[in-house]
Amino acid sequence: MKLFVSDGNPHCVKVLAVLRYTGVTCDVEHVNHDERVVPYLSCPALPALLLPSGTYLFRPNSICRYLIELNGQESSDIVNQWLEWEATELQPALMQALHMVVLQGKGAETTRLLQGPLSYLDQSLSKRTTLFLTAEMVSVADVVLWAALYPILSDSSLTELQHWFERVGVLAACESAAQTALQGKGLKSESLKSYLQRQPAPHHGQGQVQGRGTQPCNSPEGDDGDCVLSEEEIQSAVVTWGKGLADLPMVPERQHPILPKEGKRNVLVTSALPYVNNVPHLGNIIGCVLSADVYARYGRLRGWNVLYVCGTDEYGTATENKAREEGLTAQQICDKYHAVHASIYQWFQIDFDFFGRTTTKKQTEIAQNIFWRLHERGFLLEDVVEQLRCEACQRFLADRFVEGTCPFCSYPEARGDQCDKCGKLINAVELRLLKEYKHDNYIHIKQLHLFMKPFLHQPMSQSAIQKSSLKPQTASNADVGARWLGKLPRKELIIYLFFHLQVFYVWFDAPIGYLSITANYTDQWEKWWKNPQQVQRVYQSVESTCSCELLWIRSNEPPCRCFLSEYLNYEDTKFSKSRGVGVFGDMAKDTGIPSDVWRFYLLYLRPEGQDSAFSWVDMATKNNSELLNNLGNFINRAGMFVSKFFENCVPAMALQQEDKRLLAQVGWELKQYINLMDRVKIRDALKCILNISRHGNQYIQVNEPWKKIKGDETDRLRSGTVTGVSVNVACLLSVMLQPYMPTVSQTIRQQLNAPPTVTATMLQGTGNFVCSLPAGHHIGTVSPLFQKLEAEQIESLKKRFGGQQVTSDNAAQTAVNGADAERARELTLAVAEQGEKVRTLKGQKAEKAVIGAEVTKLLELKKQLSMAEGKYQEPVLTKGKKNAQPAPTPASDPAAQTAVNGADAERARELTLAVAEQVRWGTNVTN
């Protein structure tokens, strides 16, 4: 059982108090207010209780009742009645009152709003004969009502109520729950405030129940509505603004090698190592390197000591297959695609500190070192495993390339390593009705292997996923992690070695890539990896994380975080290189769309929490609406006003209430941005940027500085103020944009001639929106930042990357290569002619067979015609909804690995290559 709560949510006080009161064992996870825990609800609903059966409870009072019932207390009619009263009568009034006090500072209003329900409660209390509300014992009704009233009822003139409230409040459970959820501060709690800011204002008037569902919806467009700002917040925003640029050291130039520093926040960022046998597609890019790049860039801006390493994962059967396909050696394939990957990532401006590869000497050394250490400690054992071997090709068959019926769920197309349907891990030999891929002639062979003892990874993996050390960021990520770890016990000894061939299994070897790539970057790599007190590690792939952390045998809990994304689809289908569907890394630059815009769009739809789909039309819309009309428009207008009306010189500003409000709004969004970015909520943080420019556009629109500049002295001053504030907001935006769109950010700062310390000042602490371009500051030349993506351009791109779903047909081919108008016209005529012929034959009452033949011809012509017009699509067979992997995890390709042969590293390397090339051994190795 697991309880999800969010800080500052008064309903969570209820459930936490009841949970502690009952002593029911249950995991508690603290999540954000806007976390969508319950999958079928479109608005976040917290608290939520995940029951052992997988069902969710999401109404607070029902959760409380359930917990109490687990403890053996049935609720009586009278308890039910109080719970219902609390939910339907007290809550609506309470929400309104909290809103008034906390957000609008109107404390006096509460008395009026709560008078009715509170005196009802007081009267009922004075009529009762029992110690508590319903009995001599505390009931769930007492706790729920107490928790509901906790923020608001510190002292009340209603004596009975006051006594009862204090009596319940001394319960340890209540006290500690209030402490957890509201820091024991009641109305003054910061988290309560931020919770309420996210709630829509309660409706007034009769019959109002809990307003608009009490929780805001996560709308994809990010129109979360305005936050409600209090007077103090506005004042403090003005104070911050006035501080100006701090006298801070600039973010220092990076000096390689970067090593962990004492007293600094040291962050090692890695992303899934992209597999080398193919060109990465957009899903791969967003799923691994790009997200990590944004985080690494952000970390550097924040002044952390960040090291971002990544590299290509090169060993494995898939490489060998690709090599065979292209007629090259495995090494040549690796070299070729490593270069392809590196250049694509460069184009996408992925700012690695080091981009390495796994086929290096260091990899061999470290892999062997770990192996020997395991061996010396007696952590290895021998066992026999049955494998498949193709006699014709003289090679072992990789599990992944064997297909058959799943022994668990009877899915007919299960792969040899895993069933795509039920997700269970399989041994290839367990598959029923084996229909081996391209090989008919296989035999079963038993072989001796070395295994890692399971006790080594099981307890570690359990604690790794459960404790905060590897705390997944969302519920679905937790699922991924749990599912992945769940597989470990089944394939008990997942990390093992090929004994007689002296090669490592890929699961053992691939994660070592992280270590070896770091080692190739600096000889002092161990400072990053064996230094848990100082270094925080951030990964972008659960498989690699687990294996890496498991293998990296240390004494301490790893201080690592792992964040994942879900799948990215292409126009509702799967990315497929073989079918030519989707945009691949190398083609992105041929589209003529700037790298920054690609980054923006991919990050905008970064699949956080659920799958998302790439769509050309959507990309154009987002470019034109968000970048061009919102962000670009605002920044450009702000700059243009300065240059056109004030001769490139930021005018004097006299802040009025409206300007101050904007400062507070922008400051709030900046704080949100930092808060989200710190937690690697990359997509959500991007929305904050767009919200700021939206506020900015509104502000300019309402104040019309272009009109006021032509007015009298007061009007001109007003125009100056609005322009000055706007251009400062633009400057802030350039800072916030830096991790997402580095080039655009640089351009804005050049155009505004922004001082170099802006970044450090604004992103310090929880964020400070200061006046960084004071009156008198000279800006540079302003020009538009973005270009419109036209419908025709998008149409043609869509055609170009739509793939060859229509194949093996001449007419279809024509359609793919641009609709062929000439051919279409010919076909139209032919169709008309043939139609006429059929009608004539029918009219003549010709033989059925004759008519039939002509009708077939007619249909064929019609089909060709629609193809030529580009309308026809061959029905594509789809096997359910399969998704493109966000990142080619090294884990999925079991294969021959680094050789181990005593301490002779060089020889081991030769062996590895030999295995890869299948020269020396004449076999291919599989698990």
Partner 1 sequence: MSLKELSSLEKALGLKKPNKYSTQGDRKVPVLQSINGPALVGLVTIATHLVQEAKRPELLGGSAEHKAVVQQWLEYRVTKVDGCHKEDIKTILKDLNSYLEDKVYLAGNQFTLADTLMYYGIHHVIVDLAVQEKEKYMNMTRWFDHVQHYPGVRHHLPPVVVLRNRVYTSGHH
Return the sign of the alpha-carbon dihedral for residues 333, 336, 339, 345: negative
Helices of type H across 170-288: 172-182, 190-197, 231-243, 282-284
CB of 867: closest distance to partner 1 in angstroms? Answer: 21
Angstrom distance (rounded) from CA 363 to CA 509: 8
Q: Kindly identify the residues of this chain, within the stretch 318-347, that bind partner 1 according to CB under 8 A.
A: none
| 321 versus 573: smaller Cβ distance to partner 1 | 573
Work out which of 85, 304, 408, 706 binds partner 1, going by CB under 8 A.
85
Stretch that binds partner 1, among 199-207, 651-659, 743-751, 794-802 (CB under 8 A): 199-207
**Residue 42: CB partners within 8 Å, gap ≥ 6?**
217, 218
Q: In angstroms, give the least distance from the CB of 218 to partner 1.
A: 12
Q: At its nearest, how many Å lie between partner 1 and the CB of residue 25? A: 15
Among the listed ranges 87-95, 665-673, 721-729, 803-811, the one in contact with partner 1 (CB under 8 A) is 87-95
Structure tokens at 864: 């060709």
Verify binding: residue 751, partner 1, rule CB under 8 A: no
Q: Which is nearer to partner 1, 53 or 468 (CB)?
A: 53
Task: Give the range of 204-212, 267-275, 475-483, 902-910 binding partner 1 by CB under 8 A.
Answer: 204-212
Any contact of residue 91 with partner 1 (CB under 8 A)? yes
Helix (H) / strand (E) containing 749 = helix 742-752
CA distance 480 to 22: 31
* Least Å from the CB of residue 614 to partner 1: 19
Residue type, 503: V
Nearer to partner 1, 213 or 580 (CB): 213
Which CB atom, from 45 or from 686, has the smaller least distance to partner 1? 45
Contacts (Cβ under 8 Å, ≥6 apart) of 77: none
Q: Which helix (H) or strand (E) holds 115?
A: helix 108-127
Angle 705-707-713 (CA atoms, 0-180°, nearest 5)?
Answer: 80
Binding mask 639-658 for partner 1 (x = CB under 8 A): --------------------
What does DSSP assign to residue 398?
A: P
Stretch that binds partner 1, among 82-90, 460-468, 575-583, 758-766 (CB under 8 A): 82-90
Instruction: Report the distance separating Cα 13 and Cα 168, nearest Å.
Output: 13
Minimum distance, C-beta of residue 130 to partner 1, in the bound complex (Å): 13
**Least distance from C-beta 92 to partner 1, angstroms?**
9
Query: What Cα–Cα distance (Å) separates residue 893 from each residue in 220, 226, 323, 398, 888?
Result: 36, 49, 15, 8, 9
Question: Is the separation of the CB atoms in 408 and 376 below 8 Å?
Answer: no
CA distance 696 to 117: 43
Supply angle C-alpha 759, 227, 14, rounded to 5: 115
Nearer to partner 1, 433 or 877 (CB): 877
Q: Can you spell out the DSSP letters for 429-469? A: GG-EEEEESS---EEEEEEEEEEE-HHHHHHHHHHHHHSGG
C-beta of 42 vs 123, nearer to partner 1: 42
Whole-number minimum distance, CB 479 to partner 1, in Å? 17
User: Taking the complex as a whole, how short is the minimal distance between the CB of residue 81 and partner 1, in angstroms?
Assistant: 4
Cα(851)–Cα(847) distance, rounded to whole angstroms?
Answer: 6
CB 431 within 8 A of CB 416: yes
Tell me the closest approach of the beta carbon of residue 176 to partner 1, in angstroms: 24
Residue closer to partner 1, measured from CB, 68 or 797: 68
Least Å from the CB of residue 101 to partner 1 = 22
Output the smallest distance, CB 516 to partner 1, in A. Answer: 46
Query: How far is Cα 860 from Cα 857, in angstroms, rounded to an integer?
Result: 5
| Contacts with partner 1, 18-57, as mask; x by CB under 8 A | ---------------------xxxxx-------xxx-x-x
From the list 413, 318, 329, 348, the residue with the least C-alpha distance to 885 is: 318
Residue 278 sits in the site that holds partner 1 (CB under 8 A): no
**What SS3 state is found at 168?**
helix
How many CA within 13 A on the CB side of residue 790?
4
Asked if 250 touches partner 1 (CB under 8 A), the answer is no
Q: Cα–Cα distance between 801 and 650 in angstroms, integer?
A: 46
Q: Return the number of the residue (320 or 566) whose C-beta is nearest partner 1.
A: 566
CA distances from 784 to 638, 677, 724 (A): 11, 28, 19
Closer residue to partner 1, CB minimum distance, 40 or 455? 40
CB-wise, 49 or 288, nearer to partner 1?
49
Minimal CA–CA distance to 688: which of 663, 675, 661, 670?
A: 670
Q: Is the Cβ–Cβ distance between 884 and 281 less than 8 Å?
A: yes
Q: Which stretch binds partner 1 (CB under 8 A): 85-93, 505-513, 516-524, 789-797?
A: 85-93
Shortest Å distance, C-beta 124 to partner 1: 10
- Please identify, using beta-carbon distances, which residue of 120 and 347 lies nearer to partner 1: 120
Residues between 355 and 394 that touch partner 1 (CB under 8 A): none
Residue with structure tokens 């409660």?
A: 121
Sheet holding 414-415, edge to edge: 414-415, 402-405, 432-436
By rule CB under 8 A, what string of x and - marks binding of each residue 210-229 to partner 1? xxxx---x------------
Residues in the interface with partner 1 (CB under 8 A) total 39
* Least CB distance to partner 1 at residue 605 (A): 21
**Which residues inside 845-904 make contact with partner 1, applying CB under 8 A?**
none
Q: How far is the CB of 219 from partner 1 (least distance, A)?
A: 11
Contacts of 7 (CB under 8 A, 6+ apart): 30, 180, 181, 182, 191, 195
**Smaller CB distance to partner 1: residue 4 or 598?**
4
Q: How far is the CB of 30 from partner 1 (least distance, A)?
A: 22
Binding to partner 1 (CB under 8 A): which residues in 446-465?
Answer: none
Should residue 672 be labelled a site residue for partner 1 when binding is judged by CB under 8 A? no
Considering only residues 140 through 159, tell me which ones interact with partner 1, judged by CB under 8 A: none
Q: Tokens representing 488?
A: 């470990």
Q: Does 81 bind partner 1 (CB under 8 A)?
A: yes
Q: Which is nearer to partner 1, 198 or 491 (CB)?
A: 198
Would you state the structure tokens that stand for residue 465, as one six-digit string? 């996923």
Classify strands 266-270 and 305-312 as parallel, antiparallel or unpaired.
parallel
Footprint on residues 50-79 left by partner 1 (CB under 8 A): 51-53, 55, 57-59, 61-63, 65-66, 69-70, 77-78
By CB under 8 A, is residue 88 in contact with partner 1? yes
Nearer to partner 1, 66 or 673 (CB): 66
**Separation of alpha carbons 42 and 577, rounded Å:** 34
Q: What span, in angstroms and rounded, lies between the C-alpha atoms of 334 and 354?
A: 18
Minimum CB separation of residue 206 from partner 1 in Å reads 6
Q: What are the phi and psi torsion angles at 114 (to 5°)?
A: -95, -5
CA Rg value for the chain: 32
Minimum separation from the CB atom of position 214 to partner 1 (A)? 9
Residue ranges binding partner 1 (CB under 8 A): 39-43, 51-53, 55, 57-59, 61-63, 65-66, 69-70, 77-78, 80-81, 84-85, 87-89, 91, 203, 206-213, 217
